[in-house]
Structure 1
Amino acid sequence: MTMPPRCALAAAICVALPFVVPVAFAQDQPDPTTLDRVTVTGSRIRQSELETHVPVQVLTREAIDRSGFKSVADVVQNLTASGAGLNTKFNSSGNFGFPPDGGGVGAGAATVDLRHLGPKRVLVLVDGIRWINESSGSGVGSAVDLNTIPLALVDRIEVLEDGASSIYGSDAIAGVVNIITRKNVQGGDVELHYGTYEDLGGDTWGVDMGYGGGTDRLQWFVGGSYFKQEEVSSLEYGPSSVPVPGTGLANGSSATPQGRFVFLDPNTGLVHNLTTNTGATAPTFVPGQGCARTDDFHCFTTADRFNFAPYNLLLTPSERKTVFGQVRFAFNDNIGAHARVLYNERESANQAAPEPFFLGTDAGIYNHWGESSLVISALNPYNPFGFDLTTVGPDANLFLLGRRPVEGGPRRYRQDVETWYVAAGLDGSFDVNARPWSWDVNVVRSESKAEQTNLGSYNLRRINEALGDPAACAAIAGCVPLDLFGGAGTITPEMLAFIQPVVRDESENTLTLASANVTGALAQMPAGPLGFAAGYEYRKYEGSYQPDPITVAGEYNGVPSGPTSGDYDVNEIYVELAVPLFANPERGNALDMSIAGRYSDYSTFGGESTGKLGLRWQLADELVLRGSFAQGFRAPSIGELYGTLSRFDATLVDPCSGAANAVLPECVAQGVPADYVQTNSQISVVTSGNANLQPETSRSLNLGAVWSPAFATGTAWSERMDLGLTFYKHTIDDAIQAPDAQAILERCVFQADPFSCASYDRSDRGQIVRFDDILDNLGTIRTDGWDFSLGWLLPEQSWGQLRFDAKATFVSEFELVNESGQAEPRGPGVEVNDSAIPEWTSTLSTQWSMGPWALAWNMRYIGELRESCGGANGFPICDDSVADRNRMEATTYHDLQASWNSDAWLRGLRFVLGVNNLTGEDPPICLSCSLNGYDASTYDLPGRFFYARVGLRF
């Protein structure tokens, strides 16, 4: 909802009780009177952290080190509020194609998702300033790749689990991740690290270096980071060796090395569904024999399907190199300058099974070279049927030719990504009526470029030429007749040389930003100073994606996509007030209010206003109630606005498939024949951006409390204890999305929904040959839940000191209502589309320290999930085949780390040994997941991960 700025400032009052002390990675909280006034994530007003009205979880450097993780993404993805973010365990290439948002598949990148609302709805900042969105090599990304920010640069990570568009602008619907960099560093440090998976390999190693110093006026810090991760093949894990665990080849591909041929014999009028016998050479065709044949073909059955799973990767290889530096110079006591520079390179790769050919009128690949203009000539020396196989006109008789050319090797997608970021500015302070004020001015220029090289794909036009008249082929340089009929091994190197190109795609994202901020105390009120902040920000986003020329020409056999290019800019102003309403220091209670409003003017859709209001009520020294109500919005991204027609191949179950289902009323109404069986489980879905998209709007509510009981403070059994409880609720209207393709099929067949039925077409044989899934402002998302927390520090004893930090998140509601007013499949406790929303997630961190020794034990719990059997109905591995429901048991990971620190040599020496997943838990088998038999965005890789580190400060 759009409103003028004055209305945004008066949005609504909310009462919230979020807890102050961060939980699973909590840190000690000093007395508020001793805190410096600083800028804390969630507010632009300089204040002590205990005065904020919103829940901010702080992941300290010490807590990050104890986690055993070596990337920013791994750290934040293991928060209890995190959802299914992309990471290097997700082999995101091949048939994942090009999602509707135009952002590409993000191969090799890592993102953060809060409250299961998606990475695009999380704002990532570095020192309070926006970071550039990633380049995937296959689209214009709209989320930050956290792999561009090395842990060596990080001092702490502040996570705001609340909407903050009125403070920071677009994208902060689900929350904010603010990465605070290291400053005031004196001397140098270097750390070497190595890790490996016990039974899988996947070795990782690297080095982090930093050096800093300064004078009274000058402070500087430079550093570098190197990280390398080896790949792990799907063959290393048993459940990943078949398309869907426990179902054999039922979910395998119909494009096989032997070939599948569905055609009508023009001489007999019979439709054949054949595959070449194993080892057959120079196959012959006997007309009219049907499936009872003794020649070189037999009728295609499930047993002939292709197992593509062993070609995938469990862990994708990645090599990252980063150099960075920052400097600050004080001209005098009141004015200073600062600058930051970062350059990051990433080389990563993904792999998929050999790329199949799907040719014929039922192929559904949206390519005329394979669907409407292909003629496999009877003169082709390898055509065994004695007549033309054609897709042209009324005489079309080739319905499907599926061939998996294993001779050409697997598809290998290699990403080369370069990101640079330059920021500079001025800042200072001044007094007004003896009240301190501060200001800053910032400029940023950043660019991310990616090139993706694809080996193992094919040119459909050249396939067409090589299958046609040999005389026409001979007139084309390099063309030799192509053999798709003789089974594996019959495609020669000369044939491959003509039809197999190297495909190169490029993408780019650019960010230009300028901002100015001022904050201070407007006046002294009876209950304290009236805090004020205001500012202006200008941002310009530019993005482009350029696929390979053969893709643009429509000749690419793989997943097609169109070029994307666009830009937009935004001018914004904001105002924030911190109003003390009441204070009684003698009784330790106080009441204050925060008000914020922001107006954004976009070149694409116009103006948008948001407001935020919060209350904080300190009932006593040990009990605080606080909360906030916030409006938010997310502007459509470049890919969502300007992305052109592209395609992804979705693994779908056609509800009309099979004799029992083809007679359903809606199936009959669609002209599905009584003997219809879905030819291929992968159905091509066409997607596109939409220039008419409007912003998403949101409302966020936080209510909570934090209690630090006096009876557990400064006693013989407790140094300090903090208990927290938070209720959160997010509602997003006009959510930008494309409907779930599987849900479209089911709503059409079972509910006769007109919108769903209009989204796809069938051939006269029942096969789905068109499926459109275009972005729009379609949905409403509602989610709410609870955060629980405990932080307990025990007094130091002769045997050391103990600390316990725990956090749990319960998702009580998650509902995505589509354009038809019906709920999509996602919900609490449900696994769908390779992402899960567990009802319960929790962490417990136990830390013991004594002198130079420390021991940390972390537990991570993921609650039970349920899922569709993913087309595995009737198979024993599904818990309830009749109800199409499978249970995925709860999983608990145990992580153990031991460390030793000594200052005896130079400035410090540190040794660390650890193991994550100490008990070797395997992820629960997922029947509906696309690859590798488990949800890689929710669970760790199978087995234990051992690591060692050695660090030196000098």
Structure 2
Amino acid sequence: MSLPNRCRLAAAVQLSLILALPAAAIAQETPTQASTRTLDAVQVTGTRIRRAELEGQVPVHTVSRQDIERSGLTSIGDVVQQLTGSGSALNTKFNSSGNFGFPPDGSGVGAGSAQVDLRHLGSRRVLVLVDGIRWVNESSASGVGAAVDLNTIPMSIVERIEVLEDGASSLYGSDAIAGVVNIITRRDFEGGQVTLNYGEFEKGDGATSGIDLSWGRTTERSSLFLSLSHTEQDPVYARDRLQSRFPVPGTGVALGSSGTPTGRFMVRDPNTGAMLDLTPNTGDNAPVYDPTQTGCARTDGFHCFGTDDRFNFAEYNMLMTPSERTGVFGQFRFDISPNLQWYAKALYNRRESTNQAAPEPIFLGPEAGTGNPLADEITISARNPFNPFGFDLVSGDTLVMIGRRPVEGGARVFEQKVDTQYFNTGLVGSFEAGDSLWFWDVNAAYGRNKARQTNYGSYNIFNIAQALGDPDACAAVAGCVPLNIFGGPGTITPEMLAWIQPIVRDESQNELSQFSANISGDLFGLPAGQVAMAAGYEYRRYEGWYQPDPLTVRGHYNGVPSQPTSGSYDVNEVFVEFDVPIFGQGALGERLDLSLAGRYSDYSTFGGEFTPKYGLRWQVSEDFLLRATYAEGFRAPSIGELYGSDSRFDAQLDDPCSSQFINASVEANCRALGVPEGYAQANPQISVTTGGNPNLEPERSRSFTTGFVWSPWFANNVSWADRFDFEVTFYRHDIQGPVQALSAQTQLDLCVQSLAEEFCDGIGRATTGGINAFNNRLTNLGSIKTDGWDVDLYWTTPVTTAGRFAFAWQNSFVTRYEAVGGAGQRQPRRPGIEVEDSAIPEWSSTASVDWSYNAWNASWTTRHISDLMEDCGGAATFPVCNMPETGTNRLGSTTYHDVQAGYRFNWLEGFTLTAGINNVFQKEPPICLSCSLNGYDPSTYDIPGGRFWYLRADLRF
């Protein structure tokens, strides 16, 4: 059908939503073509109705293939995380194995994955589709994931990415509370393409390289597209960047670990009653203990443990983790008849990634806080040939804590292999009924992610306990040799390591089977136009399991313990959507449309749920559009959240009852909790036990958006502008009963402040006062409320003697974010605050300018993040805490500049060379004192700092 003049705005806005469309592509269209071309009915993200109007009731952000190539990035996750509306999510800059442990949702650490978070509501609340079909959730070999790993989808197969930042449960079902990311694959492709790329940081590390091979053939009745891709990313080590060489920048080893290569020994001498906190003298591999020296003025083989003795674990970490991804994809379509098409697509992807942590410490005694009785309740025999103290070290009596880090065993290395298999087939057809053309489709899809993780460098705490016990009992066990944890580095021999150091292997899998049938068309006519409808049915079945190493299941693993998880559920859904024209051109404007949608979902785990959605689209004039939506949504608890077995994560907690934090208002409560006077927290790393809850209810949400699109008549098809579009959107999300565990630090603070059972239940303390048990479970807690604004501007100039320019400026402003616990306590996350390795900037902005002239093209992009505030924590007394009077640190606003240029040669079907530099002015990310990863927030800022240059060669034939 021919596009009438009154719809010029719709076409212009949708085209402008393709971020800063490269001028080379824009130049191929004339103004006349843009305003008069014939459109087929298509389905876009945000509606199930096939329609010709390009601009609907909801704002859809489109990232084109050209935008992806302009970024210089090789991961879909990295591309999406740069959108201004994206929040903190896992990526390959999270060196996330080791002490991160198991999050409360049972998903595992997601090592090596890249996820997407919209509106700062969490990756679990974003639905990821591929060509409108759900993608299977990640598998990390450490749990049953509840979010999609975008690294399981090769970049080479992507045509564009459509991002709907609005609640859409009525259209797509569960998980679409925060929005939808729909990845559209390349389909109509003629000929071949070879793409080579290489880039690295100017320091010569972090190299990224890849090759993409694509080939397609299109005939009158069929189309075939094949793709083979391989991408490699090399590591960047923390020790190679000045800012990340120590646990917290600017504090040296003061905030390092008390688990050291020489060992820290907090003991009570039963002969003198003296409480001692000792470490062997440097270079003394067989320290001699003199019981007559009860203080710190010592002349034996020990000295009192001090700040300078702490261990710098940061130098073993990675700022960027290595990853290798290989993907094969094929898509075939065949027209059985003019009104019937069959299609099939298949994908296989292998991701191999590695994370690395410092050598694993061995913490023993009641103050160790590991939650493992084999460590917390250990007895070290006086007959151990290496025990210099001459008495049994009994937990809770003569032993308070031992921290020894066996550097002899090397770093902890976690290697992941993740295999993704996907198959999708279906029929697409159309038919005429009366004067209406109806479209229908049926689809079946299966996806599976299977992961295996191999862990080198961890220890067997059961064997450690045997090797530290009675030597005669150890001698009776084949392979057991007494263990020396009392000497310095090198005193743990290969024979000792052979007894205590296993290789740990974990596996997990996620599967998704689904079937859907849809129909869309015009029902009948009204004076203002046709009433359109879409309806459909969908069935999905989720299955997932996680199997840790048998050593871990037995409780013998010295690292983070966990138990197996398995579960499944299915859902049947029906939906309907209507688009009703209220009036046409008249005194009230050009057109007013009402959209109505509803979905009923029947889950095997909790029953039925109905979610409606209402929308208005008012074309006030030829150049001004108003729109608004209201939607109710839900998110069903995932397999990990429902069935996750007991596991643990290690949290950095400040005990309010410790002498360095206590104040008069809580002193009496601390005594009531059994904390003795003068207690000092020895180890801030506290093990927190968590697990699933089969009684969880779905999260329920309400979403509201409103805004306008203005494409002024005086700025379209004029001498200085082909198009000029201004778009403003207000959003609000309200989630009730979010599935979460109360922040462990918040729970601990509230327990000490109130002594209330609801907070103190599950927190246990040793006789010494230290926390030796911490139970933190999932439940439906409180609410999350957030709102803000998106303000976007797009301007494209006509072709001139200087070429053609396209300007795009996107902005997101977060005006509110409130997370409230079940008892009304406000959680620490809010706009402008950095907390728990993530941030919500009050303002995020991206501006880009594209230029093209004949065979040349170039672009300049700036990305801005407003400043943040954080609690300095243990670094409050150091100069690096830049606001010591309030104990806070300001992370200054950060702006990155990226540049790219390319030239197209007329070889074969085209050969293009492209060069680019990201972070041209070498902007370093601001120092984060509260972050647990190398003094950076890897989900908010580009890490590591410094320039990253890249080259890309693209040949079409």
TM range (shorter): over 0.9
- Shift of the alpha carbon at 1:670? 2.1
One-letter identity of the residue aligned with 1:40: V
The residue that corresponds to 1:9 in the other structure is none
- Shift of the alpha carbon at 1:474? 1.5
The residue that corresponds to 1:192 in the other structure is 196
The superposition leaves residues 131-154 of structure 1 with CA deviations (integer Å, 9 ceiling, x where unpaired) of 010100100011100011111101
Q: Does the 8 Å CA contact 1:900/1:912 hold for their aligned counterparts? A: yes
- Shift of the alpha carbon at 1:884? 2.2
Q: Does the 8 Å CA contact 1:656/1:672 hold for their aligned counterparts? A: yes
Q: Does the 8 Å CA contact 2:159/2:184 hold for their aligned counterparts? A: yes
- Shift of the alpha carbon at 1:200? 5.4
For the pair 1:792 / 2:795, whether they are aligned, the reply is yes
Measured in 2, the distance between the counterparts of 1:681 and 1:860 equals 36
- Shift of the alpha carbon at 1:771? 1.1
SS at 1:584 equivalent: coil
Measured in 1, the distance between the counterparts of 2:789 and 2:670 equals 44
Find the partner of 1:685 among 678, 688, 692: 688
Q: Using a 3 Å threshold, how does the CA distance of structure 1 residues 218 and 576 change in structure 2: closer, same or farther? A: same
For the pair 1:815 / 2:818, whether they are aligned, the reply is yes
Matches within 5 A, 1:239-638: 239-290=243-294, 291-372=296-377, 374-391=378-395, 396-584=397-585, 589-638=590-639
SS at 2:490 equivalent: coil
Q: Using a 3 Å threshold, how does the CA distance of structure 1 residues 51 and 713 change in structure 2: closer, same or farther? A: closer
Measured in 2, the distance between the counterparts of 1:257 and 1:809 equals 48
Measured in 2, the distance between the counterparts of 1:519 and 1:295 equals 85
- Shift of the alpha carbon at 1:285? 1.4
Measured in 2, the distance between the counterparts of 1:780 and 1:591 equals 35
- Shift of the alpha carbon at 1:75? 1.1
Q: Does the 8 Å CA contact 2:654/2:661 hold for their aligned counterparts? A: no
Find the partner of 2:233 among 223, 229, 233: 229
The residue that corresponds to 1:921 in the other structure is 923
- Shift of the alpha carbon at 1:586? 11
The residue that corresponds to 1:145 in the other structure is 149
The residue that corresponds to 2:6 in the other structure is none
Q: Using a 3 Å threshold, how does the CA distance of structure 1 residues 931 and 32 change in structure 2: closer, same or farther? A: farther
Q: Does the 8 Å CA contact 1:23/1:807 hold for their aligned counterparts? A: no
- Shift of the alpha carbon at 1:752? 5.2
The residue that corresponds to 1:8 in the other structure is none
The residue that corresponds to 1:215 in the other structure is 219
Identity of aligned pairs, percent?
57
- Shift of the alpha carbon at 1:274? 1.2
Structure 1 stretch displaced more, 585-594 or 700-709: 585-594
Measured in 2, the distance between the counterparts of 1:870 and 1:35 equals 59
Measured in 2, the distance between the counterparts of 1:315 and 1:752 equals 43
The superposition leaves residues 589-636 of structure 1 with CA deviations (integer Å, 9 ceiling, x where unpaired) of 100010000000000000011000000000101000001000010000
Q: Does the 8 Å CA contact 2:876/2:887 hold for their aligned counterparts? A: yes
Structure 1 stretch displaced more, 20-29 or 673-682: 20-29
Q: Using a 3 Å threshold, how does the CA distance of structure 1 residues 136 and 211 change in structure 2: closer, same or farther? A: same
What is the CA RMSD across the aligned residues, in angstroms? 1.6
The residue that corresponds to 2:170 in the other structure is 166
Q: Does the 8 Å CA contact 2:20/2:807 hold for their aligned counterparts? A: no
Measured in 1, the distance between the counterparts of 2:828 and 2:35 equals 47
Find the partner of 1:59 among 60, 63, 66: 63
The superposition leaves residues 157-213 of structure 1 with CA deviations (integer Å, 9 ceiling, x where unpaired) of 100010000000000000000000111111110100000011251111010111010
SS at 1:303 equivalent: helix
For the pair 1:734 / 2:737, whether they are aligned, the reply is yes
Q: Does the 8 Å CA contact 1:20/1:706 hold for their aligned counterparts? A: no
One-letter identity of the residue aligned with 1:828: P
Structure 1 stretch displaced more, 836-845 or 50-59: 50-59
The residue that corresponds to 2:724 in the other structure is 721
One-letter identity of the residue aligned with 1:782: K
One-letter identity of the residue aligned with 2:532: G
What TM-score does the superposition give when structure 2 sets the normalisation length?
Answer: 0.96
Structure 1 stretch displaced more, 756-765 or 801-810: 756-765
SS at 2:615 equivalent: strand
One-letter identity of the residue aligned with 1:261: F
Q: Using a 3 Å threshold, how does the CA distance of structure 1 residues 508 and 22 change in structure 2: closer, same or farther? A: farther
- Shift of the alpha carbon at 1:759? 4.4
Q: Does the 8 Å CA contact 1:213/1:220 hold for their aligned counterparts? A: yes
Q: Does the 8 Å CA contact 2:285/2:489 hold for their aligned counterparts? A: no
The residue that corresponds to 1:3 in the other structure is none
The residue that corresponds to 2:4 in the other structure is none
The residue that corresponds to 2:705 in the other structure is 702
- Shift of the alpha carbon at 1:657? 1.9
Matches within 5 A, 1:796-875: 796-875=799-878
Q: Using a 3 Å threshold, how does the CA distance of structure 1 residues 927 and 434 change in structure 2: closer, same or farther? A: same
SS at 2:782 equivalent: strand
Q: Does the 8 Å CA contact 1:251/1:681 hold for their aligned counterparts? A: no
Measured in 1, the distance between the counterparts of 2:20 and 2:132 equals 21
SS at 2:255 equivalent: coil
Measured in 2, the distance between the counterparts of 1:146 and 1:323 equals 15
- Shift of the alpha carbon at 1:264? 1.9
One-letter identity of the residue aligned with 1:156: R
For the pair 1:84 / 2:88, whether they are aligned, the reply is yes
Unaligned runs of 5+ in 2: 1-11
One-letter identity of the residue aligned with 1:929: C
One-letter identity of the residue aligned with 2:231: F
- Shift of the alpha carbon at 1:879? 2.2
One-letter identity of the residue aligned with 1:548: D
For the pair 1:758 / 2:758, whether they are aligned, the reply is no
Q: Using a 3 Å threshold, how does the CA distance of structure 1 residues 21 and 808 change in structure 2: closer, same or farther? A: farther
Structure 1 stretch displaced more, 531-540 or 295-304: 295-304
SS at 2:54 equivalent: helix
Measured in 2, the distance between the counterparts of 1:925 and 1:36 equals 52
SS at 2:584 equivalent: strand
The residue that corresponds to 2:939 in the other structure is 937
What TM-score does the superposition give when structure 1 sets the normalisation length?
Answer: 0.96
- Shift of the alpha carbon at 1:646? 0.6
- Shift of the alpha carbon at 1:757? 3.0
Measured in 2, the distance between the counterparts of 1:717 and 1:774 equals 60
Q: Using a 3 Å threshold, how does the CA distance of structure 1 residues 660 and 783 change in structure 2: closer, same or farther? A: closer
- Shift of the alpha carbon at 1:753? 5.1
Measured in 1, the distance between the counterparts of 2:845 and 2:801 equals 31
SS at 2:520 equivalent: strand
Structure 1 stretch displaced more, 877-886 or 223-232: 877-886
Measured in 2, the distance between the counterparts of 1:888 and 1:282 equals 46
The superposition leaves residues 484-533 of structure 1 with CA deviations (integer Å, 9 ceiling, x where unpaired) of 00121100111001100000000000010000000001112211111100
Measured in 1, the distance between the counterparts of 2:18 and 2:465 equals 59
Q: Does the 8 Å CA contact 1:872/1:881 hold for their aligned counterparts? A: no
The superposition leaves residues 381-407 of structure 1 with CA deviations (integer Å, 9 ceiling, x where unpaired) of 10111111123xxx8422211100000
For the pair 1:906 / 2:908, whether they are aligned, the reply is yes
One-letter identity of the residue aligned with 1:312: N
Measured in 1, the distance between the counterparts of 2:13 and 2:678 equals 61
The residue that corresponds to 1:69 in the other structure is 73
SS at 1:362 equivalent: helix
Measured in 2, the distance between the counterparts of 1:554 and 1:825 equals 34
The superposition leaves residues 406-425 of structure 1 with CA deviations (integer Å, 9 ceiling, x where unpaired) of 00001000001100000001
Measured in 1, the distance between the counterparts of 2:190 and 2:13 equals 34
Measured in 1, the distance between the counterparts of 2:70 and 2:369 equals 51
Measured in 2, the distance between the counterparts of 1:876 and 1:26 equals 43
| Aligned residue-pair number | 932
One-letter identity of the residue aligned with 1:177: V
Find the partner of 2:19 among 20, 25, 28: 25
